[in-house]
Amino acid sequence: MTATTTIWTDNIVEAAGVQLHLVQGGSGEPLLILHDEMGYVGWQRFHEALAQQCMLYIPKHPGFGQTPRLDWVMNMRDLAGWYLEALDDLGLDRVDLLGYGLGGWLAAEMAVMCPPQFRKLVVVSAPGLRPTQGEIFDMFLVVGKGYIEKGFYDPGNTPEYQDLYGGDIGAELTETWDYAREEACRLTWRPYMHYPGLAPLLHRLKCLPTLLIWGRQDTIVPVAVGEAYQAAIPGAQLVVLDACGHHPEVEQTDAFVRHVRDFLSDA
């Protein structure tokens, strides 16, 4: 496990009619972090680093493990709408928002619904838009461990990969992946991992400072999707990290954290 010094909690809170599992820790301005398509796997190095200047709120999405599924939530836009009410109940207004993988798509959907709800937006390796070059990898062609491995450029030289996914991954993590993959399939199957109605709405983020972060060697969601987000969001910054796959937050943690910190602290 990743060594930590921050005291963090994992509690059940009532939000928008659901018993929501919420991880919270750190100090400073609030930062809402939305996990990816494989679910929340624990407190990681990038969490620890960002918690030094932010109070992190990390919900476990409905249907992605411990938080109960919402049957009426049929797609990512429905889930985004539910989350906005959950933020009302949690008292999170003008909050910074960071989402990676599927959580990045979710963050974009939330932001276009209600731009004033957020102070700044960080979208990392997110699907949601159809790439003009290449394609979004079909996560259901491989088992969970195979999908994780494909998401890294050089897992053998990524120490935290070994901490999180090396050796025997155990029944709990396997169950987390199974729940996550089932819910991801339900929400994103047709059309797969994108929604044609998102791109035209991204122009609504013209007054919301937006940072996009991608790995240059991302074989899950190609950089072309990041470029599409940048083209659709006026003023958005795109940072592409070399020697990095689908998980910049794990594979290039130091560079990832530096870019996020600089962006959030910039007036």
Residue 2 resides in a domain: no
Q: Nearest-CA neighbor of 107 among 34, 53, 180, 163?
A: 34
Residue 203 resides in a domain: yes
Residue 1 resides in a domain: no
- 22-68 per-position pLDDT tens digit: 999 999 999 999 999 999 999 999 999 999 999 999 999 999 988 99
Question: How far is Cα 145 from Cα 74, in angstroms, rounded to an integer?
Answer: 26
Residue 126 resides in a domain: yes
Q: Which CATH number fits the domain that encloses residue 208?
A: 3.40.50.1820
Residue 53 resides in a domain: yes
Name the residue range of residue 217's domain.
8-265
Q: Are strands 95-100 and 118-124 parallel, antiparallel or unpaired?
A: parallel
Residue 3 resides in a domain: no
Residue 232 resides in a domain: yes
Which pTM does this prediction carry?
Answer: 0.96
Q: Are 67 and 3 in contact (CB under 8 A)?
A: no
Q: Are strands 210-215 and 118-124 parallel, antiparallel or unpaired?
A: parallel
Residue 177 resides in a domain: yes
- 86-133 per-position pLDDT tens digit: 999 999 999 999 999 999 999 999 999 999 999 999 999 999 999 999
- How many folded domains does the chain comprise? 1
Q: Are strands 54-59 and 29-34 parallel, antiparallel or unpaired?
A: parallel
